[in-house]
Structure 1
Amino acid sequence: MEKLIIKGGNKLEGNIAISGAKNAALPIVMASLIGEGRSFLDNIPRLRDIDNLVKILEALGAKVDYKGNSLDIDSDSVNLLEVPYKLARKMRASYYALGALLARYGQAATTLPGGCEIGSRPIDLHLKGFKALGAEVTIEHGLVEIKGENLKGAKIYLDYPSVGATLNIMMAAVKAEGKTIIENSAREPEIIDLANYLNVMGAKVKGAGTDIIRVEGVKKLKGTDYTIIPDRIEAGTYMMMAAITGSNLYIDKVLVEHVKPLIAKLKEMGVGVEEDIGGVRVIGNKNFKSVDVKTLPYPGFPTDMQAQFMALLTQAKGSSMVIETVFENRFGHADELKRMGADIKIDGRTAMVKYTPLSAASVKATDLRAGAALILAALVAEGETEIRDIYHIERGYEDIVNKLQGVGVDIKKVSE
């Protein structure tokens, strides 16, 4: 086991380059199974989740060459259509195998997936979409099996704009006969990125990024080269690190339109933000003010930035309110922040945050974004903070220790 040791009090200087988006890479890597032949995927982040996904592809029989930030995948050698239990339990994104394998081979199976414990995330909407396309779904002893040799296009209304369900149904529908319409679909940038990749492979997907996606089935898809978009959540995290420390930091390789909700909140707090084509500069100050925030599906404020934003609000002058509408159990970081002196009161899905100085403590990352929030708090805490269970952080932030050391943070990773 390893932990992070962070000494607070330093400002961040220079620039940080953003890696490829984890939440776009995961479904795109799995979608490579639909295309015949090889796909070469670039700007892939080096993360624990990607490592696990590569193991899944290899277990299914695909040939994978993972070098640097690129993946070369040959899907033609796939000979297993069930994700092994031990691999599926390690990551929630294993369920993307269902849509991809169903599209290519007409059947798929996986155990109910694992991942961060941030609340109930059932896959019922995924299964509803598969059934609408004509697939048979059975669930026994935690194993989900899907069979559908001759899928037909259908009109599918999602009761909630689920990102996972939208991605999975898109994949399943690309080779279904006729037209599929997904209504109330998620609009996240990662949806657009998958649609673009599928289209380059030969699919006919229109409307990605809106609440209605139309998919016209085609006979086959062919593997291709593709570059993943930058990670908006990583970008937002470093933007908030600059804000909480009152630093002047340039975040490079950012698609500014993807972080507009955060930029709006930072400006409302009195934090300076300058945008350009290649990235964004955050010009912090020590007297930023409190604001209220409510998480919503895109283009609202992202739930994946809520924990980090709560850490930022502990240093905002005044009282703030955080409302979490996406997941019912996403305040696990609050107790850890309170160990560092934060004044946070939780009532259901609402948190009240008041300004208070923070001091170093021994804390643990309860999930991926909670770990990032603790790093934010450690940057301004008096003393030396110890963060344990950092494997959560390494699921979503590539080379975070070296990136932060490069801009002046006193941080090191040590063995327990």
Structure 2
Amino acid sequence: MTHAPPGYVCSEDGTRADVRTAPWGCPLCGGPWDLDFTPDPDAVLEPSAGPNSLWRYGPVLPLPGAFSISLAEGHTPLIPLGERIHAKLDYLMPTLSFKDRGAVMLVELARRLAPQRVVADSSGNAGTSVAAYCARAGLDCEIFVPEGTSEKKTEQMRAHGAVVRVVPGGREAAALAARKEADAPGVFYASHVFNPYFLHGTKTYVYEVWEEMGRRLPEALVVPVGNGTLLLGAALATQELARRGVRPPALIAVQSEAVAPLAEAFAAGADDAAPVEQRPTLAEGIAIPAPPRARQILAAVRASGGTFVTVPDARLREAQRDLARRGFFVEPTAAACWAAVSPTSPTDPLQGRTAVIPLCGAGAKTGLAP
């Protein structure tokens, strides 16, 4: 018997919807969906017995039954990067970014819903991931990107067979164009921000850290934050693992100093973030002036006992080069966490704690920051 995937629920007003018929966002408040799904903490979780992909965590993932979409994503190396810091090399994923974790979940869901086409918006990495997995699934795909998106990333999308729509303006303009298209019949909106299945893919990052560290977690997880998809996935995983008796870490969120609405809201003690100006920054992947899940991100960081850190472009540039000299060539956005916690950082958000940072995007996608 085929079971329906878990449904959506709005955290703001409690609206519920079936994934097979739901609009892309809550029809009452217009906000992003959460998922009506909580894994059984008593379910046997033996990832080493599963496939060599993130589907090894099947007992805690929301899609029931057999999966068919995979590029052997996940299970990326955890490498020492200092006395108390490890780096998780998610830039070694199939499309060279951590976004594959969420994209494989979205596209597996889309495959089951059988839309006429898949639409997404992205500043680069999420779009390349969705395009690749749609190619794997045989689904038509259209990606909306803001002008100025890295040509290497749009070339990758087109290579996977996606139609790329370049939208004048910034990241929000591309999102609005995609959402307008998402209202058309037969369209599945593979939004890495509005669709919570993406977050249940990114949470596997933390499950892998837990597995690789001998079924424990570090004292802190340092995460770059724009729309917050990795941080919110990490929060889901730490909550789920806490029910299994695993001590949860503090979540340390890193933003670009140029575009830091969440860090500013956190410092002010606010529950939500006011939009900020879209300013240029090397960390284009986290330059989000109005994150739709701001309230959830702020609440998750506070609940964990964590904090926010901002880094200027000069530190990003220095951190990217320092990582390269250590053997890790990542894009500037992926260097943000090292910029925040490296020994040369002007602040010490770790305060002696053990930590894991993600190296989430390959430098081959952008080159070295000028």
Structure-1-length-normalised TM-score? 0.24
Higher relative contact order (CA 8 A, sep 6+): 1
Task: Choose between structure 1 and 2: higher strand proportion.
Answer: 1
Structure whose CA Rg is larger: 1
Structure-2-length-normalised TM-score? 0.27
